[in-house]
A = this chain, B = another copy of it.
Amino acid sequence: MQIDQISRVRNFGRSVAVEVGALEESFLNRGRPLGAARVLNAIGLGYQNVSDLRALLKLDTGQLSRLLRSLEAEGLIETTPNEDDRRSRQTRLTKAGEEEFTIYEKLSNERAAAILERHKNAERLLDAMDIVTIALSRENIVFEEVDYASEIATKCLTAFAAELSARLGVEFDLKKSGDPELSQMKHPNGTFVVARLGDMPIGCVGVKGRGDTLAEIKRMWIAPAARGLGLAHRLMTTAEEAARALGIETLRLDTNSTLVEAVGLYRKMGWSRIERFNDDPYPDLFFEKCLRSDAEDFARGE
């Protein structure tokens, strides 16, 4: 590791530490210790089980308990035993708590907006931030099946279409490119897998089936900021496993030779090139993979 690279990371750390500190300071101005503010914030963000809060904020049981008591005394939260297990407890913001939470959110948003306002071409800064965000917390990326019409799926698909349009130099229309009846990417016919970091879309892939043992991989996309981390491999693996669970034995896909990263991945994961199997205008390369063979053993590598 070059000394120079390390100093770049450390310079980075210093500069963001200042920002983090400034945000915390702004939180302090509401007359409440930082610990309590953090707890209130976490509850507002949906961490309502006391044990979840403890895990998230890494607090001692005694300390968290006292912070909850102080927020209760302020009338900002209410605590009730959990229905399922009456030993554990849930917290909920009161109306006053909601308001206070909103103020903290506003402070956070204002700080973020202030950073952006200082920059004419914020898009460049935001892209850089995305790269760092994803790199630093990539172990928190989750791969999961979601509804093809869900919000996160739509975000992915929109970005996918925009990028494909730019790459192919034409307006790419999801509808035109054999856009599936929604049901074909839903259980039991098929599925749709996204990778996300919190609510940030990282990538997606669809398995489009018709209820038999043959299905098609569609809409494979990784966010530009997330490339080079080997996520496409994990995404595809998730999709293949989901397909197998649906009883699918053969997967096919079409792609375009301009998507060089994708084509390279398919080959590496044990897909074999086959003859054109549709007459869509965009694709010019076609692959197949048998889920029952040992073929995917080869792909474990990456």
Contact = CB atoms under 8 A, between A and B. Distances in A.
Contacts of A18: 136-137
Interface stretch (A115-123, A173-181, A245-253): A115-123
Contacts of A119: 135, 228-229
Interface in A72-121: 108-109, 112-113, 115-121
A8 B136 contact: no
Contact of A121 (B23, B117, B130, B228): B228
Interface string A11-53: 1111111111001000000000000000000000000000000
A299 interface: no
- Which of A108, A120, A126, A200 has the most chain B CB atoms inside 10 A of its CB? A126
A170 interface: no
Contact of A129 (B8, B19, B199, B200): B8
Given A5-B122, A6-B116, A122-B5, A133 B17 contact: no
B10 A109 contact: yes
Given A12-B133, A20-B16, A133-B12, A5 B116 contact: yes
A292 interface: no
A9 B116 contact: yes
Interface in A177-231: 197-200, 228-229
Interface string A131-151: 111011110000000000000
Given A11-B200, A16-B20, A137-B15, A125 B131 contact: yes
A98 to B, nearest CB: 19
Given A19-B136, A120-B228, A199-B7, A1 B113 contact: yes
Contact of A133 (B15, B116, B120, B124): B15
Contact of A109 (B6, B120, B126, B200): B6
Contacts of A6: 109, 112-113, 116
A137 B197 CA distance: 27
A128 interface: yes
Interface of A: 1, 5-20, 23, 108-109, 112-113, 115-122, 124-133, 135-138, 197-200, 228-229
8 contacts: A5-B112, A8-B200, A12-B133, A13-B112, A15-B133, A16-B20, A16-B133, A132-B132
